[in-house]
Chain A
Amino acid sequence: METRATRIGLWAWGALIVAFLWIPLLIMAVYAFNSSNIQSWPIPGFTTKWFHEAWNDEEVRTALWLSLRAGLLATAVALVLGSLAAFGLARSRFFGRDSISFLFVLPIALPGIITGLALNSFFVLWGVSFSIWTIVIGHATFCVVVVYNNMLARLRRTSGSFFEASADLGANGFQTFRYVTLPTVGTALVAGGLLAFALSWDEIVVTYFTAGAQNTLPLLLFGFIRQGQNLPIVNVIALVVIVVSAIPVWVAQRLTSGSGGSGRGVGG
């Protein structure tokens, strides 16, 4: 239907959009190897010394460690709550079911600042002092939905008769779980966990309100950028943050390819 000129125009448009999406990230990656500590383009030369410097920075290490622990704990909470919710809601129909599933999606449907401020008010109201656990609670709210969505998509494509057949053959609940359920939902569970970790690892909007004086890696980065400090180290951390969040997402994509269950939904 399209004329030749239209087709050429659309090809060019597609190429421009992909360039628009990816060139900033590539430029960011190049800056991590900038030999100068002045952030001008093009960079005068390549070096890897900032990686060394970032690794040996005490503040960076503390933040990295906190980010990793908070990410793993939030992922663990999300895996338990998200899969329980998916198992409970996948095959049941009851009054209020839609409201409950809306409840799980709410943290990504509302702007992050609302979730963050709400949790902040809540913690202050109850006199909860900020710790790694307040960060984990903040992250878990929006990580649960990722696991939930992935598991729900998988369970909907699995016939309930598998589980019935297992019971008919004399398996108890644990055996059915071990030999039927787990092999069926295993990859969806792993994919959900990886995506949850990727979300938690680089989250900043909610974290700012639930971290108190602690610094996760993104919070440290935010502070450095705002003060214009340690910019060479900022570039290195930025590249590391990109790579560490891209790898789990890529693996998750492979695990669920074809199921379309890894959409991020709303989030910021």
Chain B
Amino acid sequence: MAADPARLQEGSPAGGALRALSRFSWRRPRLKTLGQISAPVAAFVFVYVAALLALLIQGFWTTDSFTGKVIHSWNLDNFRAIADAPYPTIILRTVGMATAVTLTCMVLAFPYAYFMVRIAGPRLRVILLVATVLPLWVSYLVRVYSWRLILNPDGALNWLLNLVGLPDLNIAYTNWAMWIVFTYIWFPFMVLPVYAALERVPQSYLEASADLGAHGPTTLRRVILPLAVPGLAAGSIFTFSLTLGDYIAPSLVGGPGSSLIGTVVFENLGLANNAPFAAAFATVPLAIMAVYLVLMKRLGAFESL
């Protein structure tokens, strides 16, 4: 703001189109706001919202099985086909995987966030926060791929196990591998809201709890944990939703029995060339997420996002 005053004076004498525009926008703040947001809003409505509508509409169309062309006739066949085998199994597997990953992330993240808030000093806390967030920005594909290298039969995991005298563990290309990889890639999303929730617990609450005769475990169970629930719920929205929509991890570290909702969408658009069914199937994770969000809202997740 230390601008050269002489230059500021150059355009100062009243008059000129710019001045008129400045005056106008000051007098009509609503029009000014409109001018500013109209471009981004138009871009989002005409591209993004329109695309979501296109997705929905496409779900009601069908693909001609001979020509592979999309036929624009309205029917519910795609949505009915969701109930056919093997899709219910795949949906259950996906929800099960998302639940397992969410619970694992919670168990891993709570003590870690507790450590950051209550044990680590301010400097270490900053370092740990950066160490937790930075992997989120590192290519998600690369992070999935790194586990493929580790879990390989002659990868780092078996090398380490052999080093300490344990037998090989061949879990590459299984649901176990997917479970580890999903936990790994979504873990930071769980840590951050839990950390924020724990940070807001006032020291005086813990002192009051101790004064009233509660031991450490009792305070943890009756005071800290209930106050961390909104943070855990907020984190679970990310871990759950991201697992529901993923197709990269199943295709890189999963095996033949590892198809998830994302895989079905991915394969129908690519290999099977059935875009309408892919679109219809994509409404499944949307519906599941809608239910999940309602449940998490009750736990106070939205105040902790």
Mark the stretch among A50-58, A68-76, A169-177 that contacts chain B. Answer: A169-177
Pick the contact of B33: A27, A92, A112 (CB < 8 A).
Answer: A92
Report Cα–Cα, A141/B52, bound state, in Å: 12
Residues of A within 8 A of B8 (CB): 169-171, 175, 179
Contacts A24-B143, A141-B47, A204-B141; A11 near B119 (Cβ below 8 A): yes
Instruction: State the main secondary structure of chain B at its contact with A.
Output: helix
Report Cα–Cα, A186/B22, bound state, in Å: 21
Mark the stretch among B76-84, B85-93, B107-115, B225-233 that contacts chain A. Answer: B107-115
Report Cα–Cα, A121/B274, bound state, in Å: 11
- The reply to whether A81 and B142 form a contact with Cβ atoms under 8 Å apart is no
Contact size range, A: 35 or more
- The reply to whether A118 and B54 form a contact with Cβ atoms under 8 Å apart is yes
- The reply to whether B54 and A225 form a contact with Cβ atoms under 8 Å apart is no
Pick the contact of B184: A20, A80, A118, A198 (CB < 8 A).
Answer: A20
Task: Say yes or no for B251: interface residue by CB 8 A criterion.
Answer: yes
Return A67 CB to nearest CB of chain B, in Å. 11
Contact size range, B: 35 or more
- The reply to whether B108 and A41 form a contact with Cβ atoms under 8 Å apart is no
**Interface digits, A1-14 against B, CB 8 Å rule (1 contact, 0 not)?**
11100110011011
Q: Can you report 9 A-B residue pairs in the complex whose CB atoms are below 8 A from each other?
A: A14-B116, A17-B112, A24-B184, A31-B149, A42-B159, A88-B36, A167-B26, A218-B141, A225-B145
10 closest Cβ contacts across the A-B interface?
A: A111-B245, A88-B36, A202-B139, A88-B37, A122-B51, A173-B22, A40-B154, A118-B55, A118-B51, A24-B146
Q: Which residues of A contact B (CB under 8 A)?
A: 1-3, 6-7, 10-11, 13-14, 17-18, 20-22, 24-25, 27-28, 31, 39-42, 80-82, 84-85, 87-89, 92, 94, 100, 103-104, 106-107, 110-115, 117-122, 124-125, 137, 141, 144, 162, 167, 169-176, 178-180, 183-184, 195, 198-199, 202, 204-205, 208-209, 218, 221-222, 225-226, 234, 238, 241-242, 245-246, 249-250, 253, 263-264, 266, 268
